[in-house]
């Protein structure tokens, strides 16, 4: 592992103390993931990050500057739990409102600090290995939160990950691959989430059950079998995989519901605490599903699960 100079460590400490200090002054606060350089990056001045809007939604594409946006829970409600949110978008864009800031607001209302992860989207144009870039960002997000838990007012042993669609693939990759060394770290801070929430997640890379767009964007048009199996997360569940809450709909025509079913079965087989809700209808991409009769129940069911498993205090 590469040695990190004392000067570099001091610069990193100064950067995070300054930025985390902003969290208490104005919410939300944006903190760069890699202020001293992105691992495995390729310089490409022609590659530009994009931000665009459609009615009620905001999207990022071609992410070049990964970061986290911290939404602190109100002090009167805060229970010390924190959840890192991975928006979906087929590994080609990020739905940062419907599967990001809107979700952060819901978590805050339940006393949970929320962290929206703007992760890099796989691209050979700016990455030496595009298959691990999102995972690197998710790992570092967890580590930043844990390293700075006191300043953020959160419990380093109650750090969860929440992912939608392709963001669900990233979240499930983190909870099954957290021990992999995919970049050089400055310390031994764990990247293992304490719990995971997966909403209509992509899980497998194996055809025909996979989501073709997510597989193409992450692994390329003709990935070798090793890569396909490596990122088929139902194959990597162990007894140490974190407790997991799963939501999906039977009529999801984008990401087949079998993705969630196979992951749930693997969790049960390995005696991992798990709960799954499969709704008859809902389709795909509904976020919090506000106002929806059936799938709209999932946020309340999720909070109940968090309480039952002591990740959130009962009074919250």
CB 174 within 8 A of CB 160: no
Q: What integer pLDDT is reported at residue 23 of this predicted model?
A: 52
Which value, in Å, is the radius of gyration of the alpha carbons in the chain? 18
Q: Quote the tokens at residue 58.
A: 């905001």
- Which listed CATH number (3.40.1000.10, 1.10.1200.10, 3.30.450.40, 3.40.50.1820) goes with 6-308? 3.40.50.1820
The set of residues, in sequence order, having a beta carbon less than 8 Å from that of 13 and lying 6+ positions away, is none
As a whole number of angstroms, the distance between CA 148 and CA 21 comes to: 11
Q: How far apart are CA 236 and CA 85, in angstroms?
A: 22
The pLDDT score that the predictor gives to residue 316 is: 46
pTM: 0.92
Q: What is the pLDDT of residue 9?
A: 44
One pLDDT digit (tens) per residue for the chain, 316 residues = 344 444 444 445 544 554 555 455 447 999 999 999 999 999 999 999 999 999 889 999 999 999 999 999 999 999 999 999 999 999 999 999 999 999 999 999 999 999 999 999 999 999 999 999 999 999 999 999 999 999 999 999 999 999 999 999 999 999 999 999 999 998 999 999 999 999 999 999 999 999 999 999 999 999 999 999 999 999 999 999 999 999 999 999 999 999 999 999 999 999 999 999 999 999 999 999 999 989 999 999 999 999 999 999 876 4
Q: What is the C-alpha separation between 258 and 238, in angstroms, rounded?
A: 19
116: left (phi over 0), alpha (psi -120 to 50) or beta: beta
Nearest C-alpha neighbor of 176 from the set 254, 272, 34, 287: 272
CA–CA separation, 101 and 94 (whole Å) = 12
The predicted structure's pLDDT at residue 263: 98
Per-domain residue ranges for the chain? Answer: 6-308
Point out which residues pair with 196 in neighbouring strands.
Answer: 161, 244
Nearest-angstrom CA–CA distance, 246 and 227: 25
């Amino acid at each position: 592992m590469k040695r990190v100079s004392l000067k570099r460590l001091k610069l990193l400490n100064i950067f995070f103390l300054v930025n985390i200090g902003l969290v208490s002054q104005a919410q939300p606060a944006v903190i760069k993931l890699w202020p001293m350089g992105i691992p495995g990056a390729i310089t490409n001045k022609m590659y530009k990050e994009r931000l665009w809007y459609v009615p009620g939604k905001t999207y990022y594409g071609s992410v070049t500057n990964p970061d986290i946006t911290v939404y602190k829970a109100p002090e009167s409600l805060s229970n010390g739990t924190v959840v890192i949110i991975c928006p979906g978008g087929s590994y080609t864009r990020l739905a940062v409102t419907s599967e990001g800031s809107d979700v952060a607001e819901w978590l805050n209302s339940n006393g949970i600090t929320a962290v929206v992860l703007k992760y890099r989207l796989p691209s050979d144009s700016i990455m030496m290995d595009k298959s691990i870039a999102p995972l690197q960002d998710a790992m570092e997000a967890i580590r930043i939160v844990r390293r700075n838990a006191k300043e953020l007012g959160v419990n380093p042993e109650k750090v969860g990950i929440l992912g939608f669609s392709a963001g669900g693939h990233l979240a499930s990759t983190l909870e099954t691959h957290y021990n992999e060394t995919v970049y050089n770290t400055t310390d031994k801070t764990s990247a293992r989430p304490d719990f995971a929430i997966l909403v209509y997640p992509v899980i497998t890379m194996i055809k025909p059950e996979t989501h073709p767009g997510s597989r193409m964007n992450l692994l390329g048009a003709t990935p070798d079998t090793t890569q396909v199996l490596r990122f088929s997360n139902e194959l990597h569940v162990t007894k140490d995989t974190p407790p997991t809450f799963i939501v999906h709909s039977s009529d999801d025509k984008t990401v087949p519901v079998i993705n969630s079913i196979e992951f749930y079965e693997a969790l049960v087989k390995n005696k991992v605490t798990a709960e799954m809700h499969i709704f008859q209808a809902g389709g795909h991409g509904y976020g919090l599903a506000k106002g929806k009769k059936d799938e709209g129940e999932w946020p309340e069911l999720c909070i109940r699960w968090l309480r039952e498993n002591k990740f959130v205090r009962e009074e919250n």
